[in-house]
Amino acid sequence: MVPFRLYRHLIPQLAAAARSPSAPKAAASCAPRRIPPLPALAMAAYGTGVCADSKLLFRQLFEKESSTYTYLLADVGDPEKPAVLIDPVDRTVDRDLNLIKELGLKLIYAMNTHVHADHVTGTGLIKTKLPGAKSVISKASGAKADQSVEHGDKIYFGKLFLEVRATPGHTAGCVTYVTGDSPDQPSPRMAFTGDALIIRACGRTDFQGGSSDQLYQSVHSQIFTLPKDTLLYPAHDYKGFTVTTVEEEVAYNARLSKDKVPAN
């Protein structure tokens, strides 16, 4: 079921329609009232369902000061309910760990998509509070971690896994974590893009060793080649969006969807 909060932006429109003089009057009947379906685009843009056989628990968490999304994934089909946390923020570590405890999960990995310039990662603080949890970041980032990953690596939590795709450009060490493509993995697939791709935009490339050419190539070769219904979850959003798809970004992301103009 798609959470109600994802559609609350439609409430003012529905209320205005109900107040309109041309709005139909309610019939005096006890018969069940037919509720019109939500717009197809909303369902396509905000659906976060997984296949019936999947045992994935998924939560999208938000830190308002830096407009950062943190993602919690767990295999609740495994007796230990192993979990991973992607892009935790130091200011919200207590919130995240309290949720993990409340849900009865076992955090095994605290992961970063890249070295962040706009906030302090929460992985170090998490490790002091949960010594069994391991930090993860790309080898290309040059940052210290318990596990340094490279393109093609797989990170398992229970029977579920995330595939590592190198997506440099915002920084040299950016990676995107993608759910698996086998029948026992979540469907549609999910990709956690960090700052390589932001909804209808992309991360900056004018600092931290960034390269606009490299970012363009990364997105087109590693993200836009995923199935068109793949759900894309960025590390940041500043406009109130939560999720997009490959199909949407190819069509509407003006920064990344245009053909690259050859250099003279």
The pLDDT assigned to 116 comes to 72
- CB contact at 8 A, 160 and 189: no
Residue 211 lies in a domain: yes
Residue 13 lies in a domain: no
Cα radius of gyration (the chain): 20
Q: Give CA separation, 196 vs 118, 161, 189, in Å.
A: 15, 21, 18
Domain count, the chain: 1
Residue 131 lies in a domain: yes
Q: Which residues of the chain have pLDDT under 50?
A: 1-52, 261-264
Residue 33 lies in a domain: no
Residue 264 lies in a domain: no
The pLDDT assigned to 16 comes to 43
Q: Which domain holds residue 107?
A: 54-252
> Which residues, including other chains, have CB under 8 Å from residue 86's CB and lie 6 or more apart?
70, 71, 72, 73, 111, 112, 113, 177, 192
Residue 133's domain is classified under what CATH number? 3.60.15.10
Name the amino acid, one letter, at 108. I
Residue 79 lies in a domain: yes
Residue 97 lies in a domain: yes
Residue 247 lies in a domain: yes
Q: Give CA separation, 151 vs 137, 166, 192, 203, 232, in Å.
A: 11, 5, 14, 20, 18
